[in-house]
Amino acid sequence: MGNNAAFLSKIPKNAIGDAAIATLKSLGVNCQYIARGGKRLGIYFLENGASIRPSSVVYDRADSSVTQAKATEFDFDKIFNDVDLFHVSGITPVLSQDAADLTLTALKKAKEHSVTVSFDLNYRAKLWTDHIEEKQQMLSDMMPYVDICFGNARDAAKCLGYTENGMDFINGDYSICVDETHMTNVMKHYGFTHLITTLRNSISASDNGWSGAICTDSGLYHGRTYDLHIVDRVGGGDAFAAGVLHGILAEMGDEKALEFGLAAAAIKHTIPGDLNFISAEEVLNLMNTDGAGRVQR
């Protein structure tokens, strides 16, 4: 999208790690701050669903390099010098205590350097099978450093232990979790400037309705809905977050930033693999058309 982006992680110093970094570099991502070492690269196995059969994931992340990374391996004063935004996945800190400590240190350092912090709660049920209350408290301790949060009331209840007048956001009606009242309450409770959520209507594993909403002090805005026939949904959420953040950094305005993220993610659903090989121009073209997929001649 034309932004200067850097990747912060720890990757093993072997041929697999080299290949991962080479892929990132080929896409123009700055990799100079990646720590090298550890035993292995974390992976997961995906069985792609279709029609009535859902997709299924098996994680193989035990003892991966990033789960054993230490804050002392990163020069955060150098990393956050002249940086506008730091984006964090909520998956990382729940992988291990070391990963949690590293994430919290990075968040604190980012705020010391007046960097805007974006945090995607990224709830994954298979990573939350034990020590739930401890993980909720750990993530809650990170929220004072967060400006832009990707999630909604249900995500906050699952990841942060959020409660509101005894309401059951986890098992209750999903529409309640994303309405203006409760999105606003979550945003104000944690002091976010933005609370942003996707809205997915799963007709089947192959066909989804796709939309989203953004909540700020100005209220809640619902974006356009796309009817998607899915080629590969992996990476769709990351494409959405990246698109919204690009829009915010480009000062498009909150509503257009949401629409940019929705369009970017909609296109990602049509691309195999987890990387979104598109340009800002393609995203803007979709935003300005009916999405009929006509051949561009």
CATH number of the domain that residue 188 is part of: 3.40.1190.20
Asked whether residue 42 is domain-assigned, the answer is no
Asked whether residue 254 is domain-assigned, the answer is yes
Asked whether residue 40 is domain-assigned, the answer is no
| HSE value, Cβ hemisphere, 13 Å, CA-based, for 288 | 6
Asked whether residue 91 is domain-assigned, the answer is yes
| Boundaries of domain holding 190 | 67-287
Residue 191 pLDDT exceeds 70: yes
Asked whether residue 46 is domain-assigned, the answer is no
Element (H, E) at 216: strand 207-216
Residue 290 confidence (pLDDT): 76
Residue 141 confidence (pLDDT): 98
Asked whether residue 105 is domain-assigned, the answer is yes
DSSP lists the bridge partners of residue 194 as 148
Q: What is the pTM of this model?
A: 0.94
DSSP lists the bridge partners of residue 56 as 47
Asked whether residue 141 is domain-assigned, the answer is yes
Residue 90 confidence (pLDDT): 97
Asked whether residue 57 is domain-assigned, the answer is no
> What is the mean pLDDT of the segment spanning 265-294?
89
Residue 291 confidence (pLDDT): 67
Residue 70 pLDDT exceeds 80: yes
Is the separation of the CB atoms in 42 and 66 below 8 Å?
Answer: yes
Q: What is the token pair recorded at 187?
A: 């945003």
> What is the mean pLDDT of the segment spanning 202-206?
93
Band of pLDDT at residue 166, cut at 50, 70 and 90 = confident
**Quick one: what percent of the chain has pLDDT higher than 70?**
98
Per-chain mean pLDDT for the chain: 95
Gap between the Cα atoms of 240 and 265, Å rounded: 5
Domain count, the chain: 1
> What is the mean pLDDT of the segment spanning 18-27?
97
Residue 297 pLDDT exceeds 50: no
| 3-state secondary structure at position 10 | strand
DSSP lists the bridge partners of residue 229 as 207
Residue 245 confidence (pLDDT): 98
How many residues appear in the chain?
A: 297
Band of pLDDT at residue 295, cut at 50, 70 and 90 = very low
Residue 293 confidence (pLDDT): 59
> What is the mean pLDDT of the segment spanning 234-249?
96
Residue 100 pLDDT exceeds 70: yes
Band of pLDDT at residue 221, cut at 50, 70 and 90 = very high
Residue 31 confidence (pLDDT): 98
